[in-house]
Amino acid sequence: MKLDSALQEHEEQVDTLLRNAKKYMGALKAWKKACLLGHMGNLQKSAALAADLSIALPETTAETKSAWTFDVRDYLANDDWLKELQAVALERFGLRTLELQDEEKLVSSPIVVRSMPFRNALALGRANWPAIRPMVVAAELKRLRDRNAGGNSQEFVDSLYGACVHLSTKTDPNAKFRDIYDLFCLTPGYKKENPEAAFSQQIYALHRSEVRTARGSHKFEIEYATGSYKEKDVFSITSEDNRLIRYFNIFFK
């Protein structure tokens, strides 16, 4: 069973408890009112109803608690969470994510999502995220992408420009994305926080953004791998309309 379906079913069971609890609270309030008014008939009636409801509440509460049998740790330990989150993100928010093969991680630029089975939680980047219902996680990923898209693209293109100047010349700065990525990976921890799929997402976000220049008004152009390039030098991404885009090089004017 999917986590979302299990939670929906359990939520409905808790709703039943809430309705019963409201009836019990209603009986208690009626009982109190009868005391304030000295209405003996209502006092006896509401007291009897409250007593009956109080007997049923502990039993139904225990039954509802026992009804939750979903194995969250197992769900997070395999790729079930990943597949469900991908599907929900795309269906509800039109948010495409990338699965990192053999790493049990999901990339939703600028965030890498991974599971933490022993905490019954997910990690969104460096943040511990205990609210793991797929639609909640997908909404947060969408919020983070929307919030960071413009600012991150400007910061990213500025860093690309600096890398190109370092790797080529100041008069005609250009470089392969592979060489830039390898340069960035010299920073301790960069590769762990930014796997190749995340770097591809950053290029794609820049490509789709309104950012067109780096610091100093240096305009950039991106070169796509349309010929026979080494695959290790190509950063690929599948766009929202399901097109494969293969990024190779960037140069500044």
- Burial class for 121, CB neighbours closer than 10 Å (0-12, 13-18, 19+): middle
User: Would you write out the chain's pLDDT as a tens digit for each of its 253 residues?
Assistant: 699 999 999 999 999 999 999 999 999 999 999 999 999 999 999 999 999 999 989 999 999 999 999 999 999 998 899 999 999 999 998 888 888 766 678 888 767 899 999 999 999 887 899 999 999 999 999 888 776 655 578 888 999 999 999 998 777 899 999 999 999 999 988 887 788 888 888 888 888 888 888 887 889 999 998 877 788 899 988 776 667 888 999 999 8
Phi-psi region of 24 (alpha: psi -120 to 50; beta: other; left: phi over 0): alpha
| Ramachandran class of 235: left when φ > 0, alpha when ψ lies in -120 to 50, beta otherwise | beta
Half-sphere exposure of 198 (CA within 13 A, CB side): 22
% helix, strand, coil for the chain, step of 5: 60, 20, 25
pTM: 0.68
* Other Cβ atoms closer than 10 A to 139: 17
Tell me which residue of 169, 194, 172 sits closest to 181, measured CA to CA: 194
